[in-house]
Chain A
Amino acid sequence: MNINKFFTTLFGIGILLVLLGLYKYYNPISSMYFPRCPFRVLTGLQCSGCGSQRAIHHLLNFELLKASKENLLLVIATPYLATGLFFEYLSKPNETYLKWRKILFGRKAIFIILLTIVSFGVIRNLF
């Protein structure tokens, strides 16, 4: 394996772990180290990603309900994204793989995702 790539990966995993630790032990809402979403500060509107920091904090503490209240989309997306990463990096292509990949991550699926992200952003500002 390429040495450079190895260290980049290691470095990435390190940063990820540190971030996960921070988000687990500090609640973004009561700590000053986690700034509010700039989009929110500028426009006063909630984007589709607003609340992800708080949602992650709750998710890491296994409080699904609280997390869902902060950002439902993120909670729904997490298992999907994990599956996606698994498909992309860890599994080997065979027929079953391709079938499921097409259902879950094919063109139609992507369109649904797009629609979901955009409409989630719109709807959460309406209600």
Chain B
Amino acid sequence: MDSENTIFFSYSRDDSEFVLDLAKNLRQAGAKIWLDQLDIKPGARWDSSIEKALAKSKTLLVVLSEASVISHNVMDEVSYALEENKAVVPILMEKCEIPFRLRRLQYADFSGDYKTGVKTLIDALNLDKEVAKNLADVTTDKPAKPIKKKEERITQPPHDSEKPQNFIQDKNNQKPPKTWLVESIIVTLFCCLPLGIVGIINATKVESRFYAGDLKEANRYSADAKKWTTISFWTGLVIWVLYIFAVASGIVNEY
């Protein structure tokens, strides 16, 4: 892997949601990034993978939040990057106490709205013109929104949701979230329950959201599918048990 211009993400796991979104936008824009959650192959050693990636990267992007400024791991990575004369670009995700060592650096401010954040980030990262333009395109059609509410922005539909233009799946061979498809079918077939169909419909949504690159939504639908499959399973079971009692006691004549 030639990692000449790779941007290494240093952040606290508490901010995963924000970080994954940003990483996704950057990647869509064509920037080379390295993010532990996406780029460590299953089974690879976590700590040595991080060390290697960090050593190879030229730029370290550190996401500052209340959680990350007190994280020893994050600060270790920052110190290392500074000592090795790597470019360090802080991103202010929310208002917090900026660590002493990072005060003098130009930072990208995402604590207000996302658009401003992206704009300042393009400057701070010194991105290629083309990448910068793509990044602006990826993020500007959407209304500027406070960070907390950025689901809609990400859900912005790709032209064809079937196409795996998704970077997560391609780069990392990641398994889509569980769709509960098989379980739903079994419940539908054996319990005679239309409720199982709801589970199956949710399964399609898990798939399409996942392959559209929207892991968060996919996970949400996966939870939904699980919920409906479970509900229909127990409803089916209760109906059957009641029914068997009714038949056994002669209230209902089954023929």
Contact = CB atoms under 8 A, between A and B. Distances in A.
Contacts of A63: none
B169 A50 contact: no
Interface in A39-58: 39, 41, 47-50, 52
Interface in A70-87: 73-74, 77, 81, 84-85
Given A77-B189, A107-B208, A35 B181 contact: no
A117 B173 contact: no
A106 B161 CA distance: 12
Interface string B171-194: 001111011011001101111100
A12 interface: no
Contacts of B204: 107, 110-111, 114
A48 B178 contact: no
Nearest to B189: A49
Interface of B: 42, 162, 164, 169, 173-176, 178-179, 181-182, 185-186, 188-192, 197, 200-201, 203-204, 207-208, 211, 239-240, 243-244, 247, 252, 254-255
Contact of B185 (A50, A95, A113): A113
9 contacts: A38-B239, A48-B188, A52-B189, A77-B185, A92-B42, A107-B204, A110-B181, A114-B200, A117-B188
Contacts of B42: 92-93
A110 B203 contact: yes
Interface of A: 35-39, 41, 47-50, 52, 73-74, 77, 81, 84-85, 88, 92-95, 97-98, 101-102, 105-108, 110-111, 113-114, 117-118
A39 B191 CA distance: 9
A88 B178 CA distance: 7
B236 to A, nearest CB: 10
A41 B239 CA distance: 13
Given A38-B239, A93-B174, A49 B169 contact: no
Nearest to B162: A107
Contact of A38 (B179, B182, B192): B192
A88 B182 contact: yes
B199 to A, nearest CB: 10
A7 to B, nearest CB: 19
Contacts of A106: 207, 211
Nearest to B209: A107
Given A41-B252, A50-B192, A93-B42, A107 B243 contact: no
Nearest to A106: B207
Contacts of A92: 42
B211 A107 contact: yes
Contacts of B255: 36
A114 B208 CA distance: 16
Nearest to B245: A35
Contacts of A38: 192, 239-240, 243
Nearest to A98: B173
A110 B207 contact: yes
